[in-house]
Amino acid sequence: MRSTRPVSWTSWTFSLLTAAALTACGGGSSDSPTVQVSEASSVINLSVDLEEGSTAATNVVAQPSFHTAAVDLEEPDNGAAPHRSHALAGVATQGLTRDRLDDAMRPRAFAAGAGEAAPMATSTAVTTYTPAQIRAAYAQPALPASTAGLTAAQAAQLGAGQTIYIVNAKHDPNIAAELAAFNAKFALPACSSRNLAANASLPLAKASASSCELVIAYSTTAGALTATAPAYDSGWATEIALDVQWAHATAPLARLVLIEAPDAGVGSLSKAVALANKMGAGVVSMSFGAAEGSWTSSYDSAFATAGMSYLAATGDNGAAVSWPSVSTRVVAVGGTTLSYSSGARSETTWTGTGGGTSAYVALPSYQSGTIGGYAKRAVADVAFNADPNSGQYVALIAQGTTTTRWVSAGGTSLATPQWAGLLAVANAMRAAASKALLGQPHAALYQQIGAVPTQYAAAFKDVASGSNGTCTSCTAKTGYDTPTGWGTPNVSALLSSLSGASVTTSTTTPTPTTSSGPTLTTTSLSGTAGKALAATIGYSAPGASSLSISISGAASGMSFSATSSGLALNWANPVAGRTNLVITLKDNLGQTSTGNVTVTINAS
């Protein structure tokens, strides 16, 4: 028989500071307060913040995805032909900073100065490209001699009026000076620069339609603006310089907003992305990665804001899958080795590029309808030059100095900001034509371009040679493959396709076929009258970072608290009978479900 105790209503909302894994076992260290139902209280509201991420993600640290060739470059001569040189022997290129390169060169210089034969360079040739050469290689519109007096259409081809958010960890104290040196050397438009105040009003004002601005913002671990710069780190400073300079080289009139997170933890970086979301519509470039895990999709809410496009490097360790590029809401950017001379471009897979099939993330609908043979999310989506031995110039100024030094940079972190720049230009062209922003461009890339042979052949160069490992899917092939995705852009044709592509009004990527939103995983509980009942009502919310829970039909004396793994029910003195709880779950992605949990209390 049903309990005759008065029915009351209990509701609360709880959120995870940085996308806790709601489907993981175990709760956060800070569960929601316990709320007890009584006859005197008909409505109870409370909120709870849970620990950032699941246990598996709490200590996960991302790494920058840059390489630099082991070459001591002189100041660029800015000639018509790419610079040719040879790499030093035995120097690893991954994460190679200018100071580490100098350290590697000292024994060679000492030996030469002592009259001894200097070690022979390896036979590895290094080619370093300027912005003008890269623009020519990928069929980008040529830069005008001056940006004064441009038409709206000409300014749009340079990204005018759009914003590129560059998210990184740690601090580069000389980023404005490095960008100025880069611009002066390669005749790129100059950028004004400023630091964003901690009390700045968000979203930001609209970006300029005629000039470039560099805005530097410091993020806290909670994703708030602060006036305190993060600590300096030479590796992350190199990454920051690379990202800012080549995003600007690709979209020279776009506004650049550099967001520096205080550390490289997954939580801090995802919060920095969330800060970008608050600043206004634009394109987010993320040249970092961490090996994927069961926690990966728990951070997807950071990539679900309307009007935003998100891009991330696939990594530089060969065949492997990393976060955030594995997210179905992020464009995963792989890498190639470029050869360009006299108008002819050829490319093969860069052996270091990341890519593969996720072990955790479901196959999104935009892939299931256009590529075959993949059971889960496949990365990369697209590619660009990334081999440090077919590198691109980057200007660096070490902390505490004013001298500009040059490196030949590569890595999928080089490919990512350039793709971000391309999407910013596409958005500018769309704005000039009174079209909506691209937002998440996967449907356009896969269904409107990749799946249409004539569009695909025009917009992409299919990279069908080379590999990033020994697995079956590690070798590039005709059409889509995981090392290079659809291939590299033929920019003019790609921009034409993207600027005219239709977009959906949805703020999220098409829902994977295996996801049905939040669900209850417990439908019944039982206990004995007069004997305290402690039980958990389980639920699952794949990919969500927050969940609202409403409970009706609770009996007097029941108490509830929420954790990341379920709803804790305690009843100190249960009464014989049957209580039907009606529980509604609504996640931050807008998906809702309602289910019943029957609590049966047997007579003692």
The helix or strand, by DSSP H or E, that contains position 467, with its residue range, turns out to be none
**Domain holding 189: CATH number?**
3.40.50.200
Can you give the pLDDT at residue 334? 98
Residue at which a domain ends, from 475, 500, 525 = 500
Residues 546 and 463 in one domain: no
Nearest-5° Cα angle at 9, 6 to 15: 155
Can you give the pLDDT at residue 586? 81
Residues 418 and 560 in one domain: no
Can you give the pLDDT at residue 517? 62
Give 261-307 as a DSSP string. Answer: ESS-BHHHHHHHHHHHHHH-SEEEEE-EEEE--TTGGGGGGGG--TT
- Which residues lie closer than 8 Å to 498 by C-beta, 6 or more apart? 423, 426, 429, 430, 438, 441, 444
Residue at which a domain ends, from 454, 469, 500 = 500
Residues 378 and 342 in one domain: yes
Residues 486 and 565 in one domain: no
Question: Contact at 8 Å (CB) between 167 and 263?
Answer: no
Q: Compute CA 265 distance to the chain's CA centroid, rounded to the nearest angstrom.
A: 13
Instruction: Pull the structure tokens for residue 349.
Output: 């897979």
Question: What is residue 3's three-state secondary structure?
Answer: coil
Task: Convert 329-361 into a string of H (helix), E (strand) and C (coil).
Answer: CCEEEEEEEEEEECCEEEEEECCCCCEEEEEEE
Residues 449 and 550 in one domain: no
Residues 26 and 162 in one domain: no
Residues 166 and 264 in one domain: yes
Residue 505 covered by a domain = no
Residues 250 and 391 in one domain: yes
Q: How far apart are CA 521 and CA 543, in angstroms?
A: 16
Can you give the pLDDT at residue 589? 57
Residue at which a domain ends, from 474, 500, 526 = 500
Q: How far apart are CA 422 and CA 168, in angstroms?
A: 20
Residue 583 covered by a domain = yes
Range of the domain at 49: 8-58+516-602
Residue 235 covered by a domain = yes
Residue 166 covered by a domain = yes
Residue 509 covered by a domain = no
Residue 267 covered by a domain = yes
Alpha carbons within 13 angstroms on the beta-carbon side of residue 93 total 29
Residue 1 covered by a domain = no
Q: How far apart are CA 58 and CA 20, in angstroms?
A: 9
The model's pLDDT over 70-115, given as tens digits with 9 standing for 90+, comes to 998 999 988 788 999 998 888 999 999 999 999 988 765 544 454 4
How many domains is the chain partitioned into structurally? 2
Q: How far apart are CA 499 and CA 448, in angstroms?
A: 12
**Domain holding 543: CATH number?**
2.60.40.10
pTM of the model: 0.77
Residues 111 and 42 in one domain: no
Residue 434 is classified by DSSP as T
Residues 469 and 521 in one domain: no
Residue 246 covered by a domain = yes
CA max distance for the chain: 100
Residues 68 and 199 in one domain: yes
Closest to 562 in 3D by CA, of 547, 541, 543: 547
Positions in the chain short of pLDDT 50:
1-30, 40-41, 44-55, 110-112, 114-122, 504-516
Residues 87 and 47 in one domain: no
Exposed/middle/buried for residue 335 (C-beta within 10 Å: 0-12, 13-18, 19+): buried
